[in-house]
Amino acid sequence: MALTFYWYPKCGTCRKAKKWLEEQGIEFQAVHIVEHPPSKEELKDMYEKSGLELKKFFNTSGQKYRELGLKDQVKTASDDELLEILASDGMLIKRPLTTDGKKVTVGFKEEEFEKQWL
């Protein structure tokens, strides 16, 4: 199954990850994370499959995250509330977000991509 690769074309890390996937000859469908963000249900599914804490899905270095003062909310909000917030704006999601429907990677670390996608 081809990967779904949620990315933001202006993001340097996303471009690096995309180039890595292309160099490895890995089939993927690139989805613009701001124009077509994953739904709350898709995010919930990815979160459950990732084994990561939900706060790892937030783009904590993003302007939007700081503007909305999410640092404190992330500590106290329920998973359901956090998923609702994430689904509301693709810029709040740490990217690239990559999945094959079974496994999920958040962000781009070459070692992690090698382990998951090769």
Which positions are annotated as active-site residues? 11
DSSP labels for 29-71? EEEETTTSPPPHHHHHHHHHHH-S-GGGGB-TTSHHHHHTTHH
Decide if 92 contacts 6 (C-beta within 8 A). Answer: no
Alpha-carbon distance values, 21 to 43, 46, 70, 77, 104 (Å):
22, 20, 32, 35, 14
Q: What does the angle CA 68 – CA 38 – CA 87 come to, to the nearest 5 degrees?
A: 25
CA torsion sign for 29, 31, 36, 40 is: positive
